[in-house]
Chains A and B, each alone.
Chain A
Amino acid sequence: MEKGIKKWERFIYLLPAITIMTIVVLYPLLNALYVSFHQWDLATGGKMFFIGWQNYRDTIKDVYFWSGIGRALLFVLMVVPVELVLGTVIAILLNIDIKGQRFFRLIFIVPMMITPIVVALLWRIIYDAQFGILNWLLSLFDIPAQVWLGNPQLAMFSVAMLDIWQNTPFIILLVLAGLQAIPHEVYQAAMVDGAGRWQSFRFITLPYLKNTLLLGAIFRVVDSFRIFDTIFGLTRGGPGRATEVISIYTYKTGFSLFKLGLSACQSFLLLLITLVVTIPLVVSILRSLNARKAVS
């Protein structure tokens, strides 16, 4: 089959995609690498001059850069485990044969696809300290009103709640797909052998779901680490720096301080850190993909 194909023909179909990726991503990154060795402040004149490794030294010593990374990691730890557990529970409930099953599924899907910035403004209205519905609801249970977004101790938690609301559906969908792939016979066999509900969950459902959950975790870890839109819409990193995750901090360096050289350097370090973490994850996804192709 493959004999008559010229070499260029293998490549030509990929060419448009590769061209666009080069223009939009690769070339700007190389250009930024060059810029990152220069001082270039738009706020003070805007001339670019070479300063060697200075930006890199500054960034590595920059407390706020690392606390931004720390906050992003903390955020990942706050949301991903909750989303995995809650998503699995809801998916199992949705998988039970009950009336209106399809309707319930729809309800849980929509939040995931809504514009993140709209989600942020929606929750700002809910969280509002004075007129927000959340404080009113809590007042019914005699819980005092909270300044959800203005209190540095609470702000991260408030952002996390929003993220859990929006992104648990992704896990629900994944787990539902995973549950449907488990053959019924396995459960029947287990029942014949006298396994209870918990045992069949522990020894059949969970092992079958292991890869699905792992995959969901990978996507959620990557996406919550780079979260930008919803935090920008809710708090812009505030109050103070309470919710200033790394993407907000890097954004501010570039677009409100206008230190272009420094922010190019920060972009680059962020990229490196992400690649170091992501490449093994991507390899593991691709391996499981290829394994699946070999089976089917």
Chain B
Amino acid sequence: MKRLAANLLLIILSAVYVFPIVWLIMISFKYQVDIFSIPPKWIFAPTLEHYRNVFLNSSVIDFLANSLIIAVGTTGLGLLVSLLAAYGCTHYASKISNRFIYSLFLLRMLPGVAVVVPIYLVASKTAMLDNYLTLILVHVCIVLPIAVLMLQNFILDIPKELEEAAMIDGCSRFGAFKRVVLPLMGPGLIATSVLSLIMSWNEFLFSMTLSGYSTQTLPVGVTAFMADKTINWGEIAAMGVVMIIPVAIFTLTVQKYLVKGLTMGAVKE
């Protein structure tokens, strides 16, 4: 009986929860007339018109390409840098590495707005505005705290004996890490990459202020569309769905590691 009540409550709550997303998807397939009909139409003749318009719009394709370039660049550079740092913090724990971890937490907590003007000033002085590298470096800083702590956790999960055995067999310390520990960290590396892809893909404040005509990402582009006087809900919804799909798929693949990642290893599942 109680189980049934709990089940019912969950069904209601999750229906409420999932409704906004379902609604967005429905709008993206509706003709303009149906979008604005009251009462809303639950059953309607679907159309791909909005998706066609979105993908035929050359600036949307540019936004998409920019988003991908920056997200992939961030993940590649971020992973490399974080992996080195995580290795250093794990194997050579010292005062410096403790301070480093401390500063990572501060970096995680920093309000973006408090640094966006300072970064903008330096970037404009060095002619680095509207530049992929600038955005990638900034995104790396956003990803870094979570990535380092996550990777450190994964390194700690691997028994030290394995590495020591490899060192007895003649590997250097770093060699042992490269040959023994790294291959065992596959899931950890994937989870960290996916999380940093999502974070870079979602980032808005810095992408808006530091980008220009040629580096605008999807979140920036969709906001500009939204600000237009003639709001076309169908196309905006279609763009929204296009942005949600990769995030949803990726999130589901790293589900297991989300808690560990988002709390920077403070909670283990």
Query: Which A residues are within 8 Å of any B CB, using their own CB?
Result: 2, 5, 9-14, 16-18, 20-21, 23-25, 27-29, 31-32, 35, 90, 93-94, 96, 98-99, 104-111, 113-118, 121-126, 131, 133, 136, 165, 170, 173-174, 176-178, 180, 212, 215, 219, 222, 225-226, 228-229, 232-233, 246-247, 250-251, 254-255, 260, 263-264, 267-268, 270-271, 274-275, 278-279, 281-282, 285-286, 288-289, 292
The count of chain B contact residues (Cβ–Cβ below 8 Å) is: 91
Residues of B near A35 (CB, < 8 A) are 121
B residues 111-151 near A (Cβ < 8 Å) are 111-122, 137-138, 140-141, 144, 148
25 residue pairs A–B, Cβ–Cβ below 8 Å: A10-B94, A14-B89, A25-B141, A28-B115, A93-B9, A94-B10, A107-B17, A113-B247, A113-B250, A114-B243, A117-B219, A118-B222, A121-B223, A122-B24, A125-B236, A215-B267, A228-B113, A228-B204, A229-B205, A232-B205, A233-B226, A251-B113, A267-B114, A274-B109, A275-B106
Query: Which B residues are within 8 Å of any A CB, using their own CB?
Result: 3, 6-7, 9-10, 13-14, 17-18, 20-21, 23-24, 27, 35-36, 38-40, 80-82, 84-85, 87-89, 92, 94, 96-97, 100-103, 105-107, 109-122, 137-138, 140-141, 144, 148, 198, 201-202, 204-205, 209, 218-219, 222-223, 226, 233, 236-237, 240, 243-244, 247-248, 250-252, 255, 258-259, 262-269
> In whole angstroms, how far apart are the Cα atoms of A167 and B27 in the complex?
24
Whether A122 and B21, one on each chain, are in contact in the complex, defined by CB atoms closer than 8 angstroms, is yes
> In whole angstroms, how far apart are the Cα atoms of A149 and B94 in the complex?
52
B interface: dominant SS: helix
Given contacts A25-B141, A116-B202, A233-B223, contact A18 B266 (CB under 8 A): no
Whether B204 and A116, one on each chain, are in contact in the complex, defined by CB atoms closer than 8 angstroms, is yes
Whether B111 and A122, one on each chain, are in contact in the complex, defined by CB atoms closer than 8 angstroms, is no
Whether B100 and A17, one on each chain, are in contact in the complex, defined by CB atoms closer than 8 angstroms, is yes
Residues of B near A177 (CB, < 8 A) are 259, 267-269
